[in-house]
Amino acid sequence: MAFPSIAQDTGEIHGKVLDAAGEALPYCVVRAVQGERSLGAETDLDGRFVLKPLPVGTYEISMIYSGYNTRVIEGVRVDPGLITRLADATLETMLGTVVVERERWEEPLIRPDDPSRMVMTNTQIKTNAVRKDPVKLIASMTPGVTKAQHSDELYFRGSRAGAMAYYVDGVKVTGSNPGVPPDAISRVSVYTGGLPAKYGDVTGGVVAIETKSYFDLYQQRNAGR
């Protein structure tokens, strides 16, 4: 393991590797890469793998098996204390020429192990019709959250005014508008219940906004978008 052994929030990535016939591929090498850091594992007899512990961030996942094409999944997000579950990956038998298949991971709006949180990534924000107004954007992505008619106040499932809070990169901000330009947002998480302990003094809901990091901007520039 190439990650430094320090105390920090970590998550996991789980998945399964199959061949074209749907049979498990045991002992397939699976790697999670972030910049110069990487963590590897092998699939078990059922083709399943677990990559942990992984510091929070975005990873490139590669699946390598002798005699088969390599599969690469880009942009896989790891969150603190949560499991990112990948769809079953199928590797094709290699016929002479080495082929690397690349795909982009799409983060689900709701995760089974964290149903009280809705997540919208920058890619999803760019295609939203109200993306230029962050408050309307948040209200549009979350059932039970509504925007006040004559202000930027958000109401969570009928809670009183002022019962919600904004956090930008982990810092609580005051006011009814977070003031973050949509183009600077990496992703938005909206908690409507079961709030983590770090938001303990909030009684309504929480909107946690993460801005783009240097690594995000670097990837964006390399991708030409």
**pLDDT single digits (tens) 61-76:** 999 999 999 999 999 9
Question: What is the structure's pLDDT at 6?
Answer: 36
pLDDT band at 217 (very low <50, low <70, confident <90, very high): low
pLDDT at 165 over 80: yes
Listed range (48-57, 76-85, 184-193) with the worst mean pLDDT? 184-193
Burial level of 93, CB count in 10 A (0-12/13-18/19+)? exposed
pLDDT at 97 over 90: no
Same domain flag for 147 and 99: no
**pTM for this structure?**
0.61
Are the CB atoms for 29 and 65 separated by under 8 Å?
yes
Total domain count, the chain: 2
Token pair belonging to 126: 């760019």
Same domain flag for 21 and 82: yes
Q: Where is the domain boundary, 57, 72, 104?
A: 104
Q: Is residue 223 part of a domain?
A: no
Q: Is residue 222 part of a domain?
A: no
Q: Where is the domain boundary, 48, 80, 104?
A: 104
Same domain flag for 125 and 198: yes
Task: Report the residue count for the chain.
Answer: 225
Same domain flag for 145 and 47: no
Q: Where is the domain boundary, 82, 104, 126?
A: 104
